[in-house]
Amino acid sequence: MTSVLHLSDPHFGTEQPAVVDALVGLVRACQPELVLLGGDITQRARSAQFAAARRFVDRLAVPTLVVPGNHDIPLFNIVARLLDPYGNYRRTFGPDREPVYSSDTLLAIGVDSTRPQRHKNGYVSSRQIERVARLLDGARPGQLRIVLMHHPLVAAVESDQVNLAGGRENAMRVWSQAGADLLLGGHIHLPYVAPLPARINQQGTWAVQAGTAVSHRIRGGVPNSVNIIDWAPERTRASVCRVQRWDYLVSANSFVPAAEHELALSRQAWRPVEPDPLGVALGYR
């Protein structure tokens, strides 16, 4: 069984210490193979905020794949934004903003969807799309294939259409054709699971969004949350991936299971089926 914990938008600088401690406890209890940290690691890309994020990652004691979000680029420090927008990120997490993790059962590919010149909006270029496709093409049959970026590719509510990454149509089509199983995102502080649009979903690919992990900047009444992804490789044409959302429950001072989704993955014999328009999944309605 392969287990991955997906979190996004911790916004260190606005973190809640009790929630941070609870998340560390969850990771230590679950012992996932990999933690995926999907950007907006800090609130204002300041060195102290990155230092707090680094301490958090070190406490997890689990391999962690990290990509930046728009908040990880200075907003008010114009000189840094123009001359060295990723300076504090680089000094904290290294120069590679598009890391890759590969094991016998897992391939996780990071994509940097941030653009310093675009303020908060994200974008994926043709070069990035082609790079990911090449990596997916080289995946081994027994690997769960995940692409991680900050900006979402699929919206669950109409108001979030403006928050979707530029270049998404081509990215979704090419990555689905190349065999991607899950496309992970954050940015909008709203967790959900949804299929890609049927017109471009070639291989049964799913979009999985994470909420804000530990920040007080929650969206409406949606609590802090993370996703745990479990997958057992099967020697069949189709397999099932389980995505479980864990919400922070104040009264328990811990993360608790809140929703679970069984996603059919079939790269060779998949038929597009349109479930509920919100995917399987908001779980708050």
What pLDDT, on the 0 to 100 scale, is given for residue 267?
Answer: 59
The two tokens of residue 285 are: 């309605």
* Domains identified in the chain, total number: 1
| Domain CATH code at residue 138 | 3.60.21.10
* Within-domain flag for 204: yes
Treating both helix axes as pointing N-terminal to C-terminal, what angle do 47-60 and 17-30 enclose, rounded to 10 degrees?
30
What pLDDT, on the 0 to 100 scale, is given for residue 117?
Answer: 84
* Within-domain flag for 234: yes
Q: Along the 285 residues of the chain, how does pLDDT read in single tens digits?
A: 899 999 999 999 999 999 999 999 999 999 999 999 999 999 999 999 999 999 999 999 999 999 999 999 998 888 888 899 999 999 999 999 999 999 999 999 999 999 988 778 999 999 999 999 999 999 998 899 999 999 999 999 999 999 999 999 999 999 999 999 999 999 999 999 999 998 888 678 999 999 999 999 999 889 999 999 999 876 555 578 999 999 999 999 999 999 999 999 865 433 333 333 333 344 332
What pLDDT, on the 0 to 100 scale, is given for residue 271?
Answer: 37
CA atoms within 13 Å, Cβ hemisphere of 269: 4
What pLDDT, on the 0 to 100 scale, is given for residue 284?
Answer: 32
What pLDDT, on the 0 to 100 scale, is given for residue 199?
Answer: 87
What pLDDT, on the 0 to 100 scale, is given for residue 235?
Answer: 52
Contacts of 151 (CB under 8 A, 6+ apart): 69, 70, 113, 114, 121, 122, 123, 163, 164, 165, 185, 187
* Within-domain flag for 279: no
* Within-domain flag for 46: yes
What pLDDT, on the 0 to 100 scale, is given for residue 275?
Answer: 35
Alpha-carbon dihedral 131, 137, 143, 144, rounded to 10 degrees = 60
Pairing of strands 206-209, 182-185: parallel
DSSP H helical ranges for the chain: 17-30, 47-60, 78-83, 87-93, 126-137, 168-177
* Within-domain flag for 154: yes
* Within-domain flag for 271: no
- 118: domain range? 2-265
* Within-domain flag for 205: yes
Residue type, 46: R
* Within-domain flag for 276: no
